[in-house]
Structure 1
């Protein structure tokens, strides 16, 4: 129960902060949507589905690109600042937000601001921070886990960004519950 309250509080409280803090509207919109959808509804994917009711849902064949063989749904999330696809993966119990284009450095800075400090009583621990150069850009992945001594379920948050102009999505932010 504490985890749900913390996620709702965190997800609901980030929107004004990020909108003002980021000079880059595209990265700010990406993290605003991630916080207000994936983080806020981490324990209530049915509530998130209801919340997304009016958003345009992708057809099953288009959603399959983002679901990668798993069951779930994908929606286009309207924004004047970019093209965003939100995915609820039923098999893996996760929410993912894809950005067609997003500035990697700014997206990483905002992501770290959101998840590197967990709300009480949770502790935040960085689980991954890798960077790999490719032929057409750099790919960076950073991940954090929140935990308490009393909860076996640990929220996991990850961000993968690339500078590759050829990528289907330059940014993917994921929120999931781990064991």
Structure 2
């Protein structure tokens, strides 16, 4: 399974890696799963299976799927455990049990802060997207063509607490554009 993390870190999604180098394992995993296969989700499922990732049983996967139907896979690396989840309503997420919140947030903003050609990156209001308090911070970016009514929404929540199940969670989904 470590080989999957190394493979993903070295074969980053070309459209995204060309704009922003991948700064850490968490963001590399997010870029090479959710971002790379967002429009090819069956391929993502095939990739997880071909790399031998364990599918979490529904009672454990529910936490990572926000109560929605879908699939969650676990990846155990030397530094932490990761979960990659893909809900049936096309929300793709990566969770890390442990990680450096500041480093991961900085890397995430570098990764999604600049959109590929023909798309515009924006910083949407994070109210309602996740917590922003002394222990947790949520940041978001969206990508869309200038006149499109929908956008790709990227959300990252990090926690400095050692007591949480996952210190880091990044998600990608297609949503109606805020007016």
**TM-score w.r.t. length of structure 2:** 0.81
- What RMSD, in angstroms, separates the aligned Cα atoms of the two structures? 2.1
**Alpha-carbon distance between aligned partners in 1 of 2:76 and 2:82, rounded to the nearest angstrom:** 7
Secondary structure class of the residue paired with 2:125: strand
2:92·2:172 contact (CA, 8 Å) conserved in 1? yes
1:37-74 deviations in whole A, cap 9, x for unaligned? 01111112111111111211111111122223210010
1:100-136 deviations in whole A, cap 9, x for unaligned? 0111100100000000110111110011357312xxx
The partner residue of 1:128 within 125, 129, 144 is 125
List aligned pairs for 1:1-179, cutoff 5 A.
Answer: 8-11=13-16, 13=18, 17-18=21-22, 22=23, 28-53=24-49, 54-91=52-89, 93-128=90-125, 131-133=132-134, 138-149=135-146, 151-179=148-176
**Alpha-carbon distance between aligned partners in 2 of 1:90 and 1:11, rounded to the nearest angstrom:** 24
Structure 2: state its 5+ residue gaps. 1-12
Secondary structure class of the residue paired with 1:47: helix
**Alpha-carbon distance between aligned partners in 2 of 1:88 and 1:116, rounded to the nearest angstrom:** 23
Structure 1: state its 5+ residue gaps. 1-7, 23-27
Deviation at 1:150, TM superposition (A): 5.0
Deviation at 1:79, TM superposition (A): 2.8
Runs of 4+ with >6 A deviation: none
Deviation at 1:77, TM superposition (A): 2.3
Secondary structure class of the residue paired with 2:72: strand
